[in-house]
Amino acid sequence: MSAESTRGPRLVLLGKQGAGKGTQATRVAEHYGVDHMSTGDLFRDAAASETDAGLAAKVYMDRGDLVPDETVIGVVAQVLGEDDRIARGFVLDGFPRTRRQAEALHDLLDGYPLDLAIDLDVPTEIVLHRIAGRRVCTQCGTLYHIDSPPKENWTCDVCGGKVAQRDDDTEEAVMRRLELYEIETLPVIQFYRRTGALAHVDGGLESDEVFKKLVELVESRFDREIP
Ligand SMILES: [Zn+2]
């Protein structure tokens, strides 16, 4: 059998913060035995291994700024080029975030087109509740939620530390990030609508249900295009 007929899917997962994108990307990648590439992880790895692109990215991340397109593209291009990833399949999470990045990915995949760009749709109210309701142990980092608090008075069940809301999890901060996401990502959605790769999955469902729908979607795409 050729590598092409045994390959895994080439996927992009799109979705706002709190849509459960990272969790689903991990599960889908495991399911198909391909690599899950989250730009957050890629940047941390690249910065740790001190590649030029990684060090450039680190400067922006340390300031809390968005990393510019060309730097992001450089890091992704390097990692996609390793281990035959483009031919074998992959799940990209956190990339592309801009039209320019989507076009660069399209060029990088020369001859191995993306199978699907899946938009994990979650209503803003749900995302707000998920993130703004989040509380974290200031000592060990264990996550809680206003719906599932620690047993005693916002004291960590694990280490006894103080459990509090992170500054960037306030409703106001989350709304600001969501607005920025919409503005940035709309052109990416439009790009994939035009190439025919765009699909939507309801990310407001239970996590297992979302995963099931994602796999069904990928299978239906493969049945149709790979006899
Ligand atoms: Zn703790």
Tens digits of residue pLDDT in 61-115: 788 787 889 989 988 998 898 888 999 999 999 899 999 999 999 999 988 999 9
- Angle between helices 39-48 and 69-80 in degrees, nearest 10: 80
Q: Say whether pLDDT at 150 is over 90.
A: yes
Question: Taking residues 28-47, what's their average pLDDT?
Answer: 88
Given the DSSP bridges, would you call strands 163-164 and 198-202 parallel, antiparallel or unpaired? unpaired
Residue 79: which of 56, 115, 105, 100 has the closest Cα?
105
Output the CA 163–ligand 1 centroid distance in Å.
Answer: 7
Separation between Cα atoms, residue 73 and residue 102, nearest integer Å: 9
Q: How far is the CA of 40 from the centre of ligand 1 (A)?
A: 24
Q: Could you tell me the pLDDT band of residue 146, with boundaries at 50, 70 and 90?
A: very high
β-bridge pairing 10-14 and 116-121:
parallel
Cα-to-centroid distance, 93 and ligand 1 (Å): 28
pLDDT at 31: 96
Section 14-21 average pLDDT: 89
CA 69 from chain centre, in angstroms, equals: 16
Give the range with max mean pLDDT: 126-130, 165-169, 214-218: 214-218
pTM over the 0.85 mark = no
Residues annotated as catalytic (active site), given as ranges = 21, 97, 134, 166, 177
Task: Read off the amino acid at residue 185.
Answer: T
For ligand 1, the distance from its centroid to the CA atom of residue 168, given in whole angstroms, is: 19
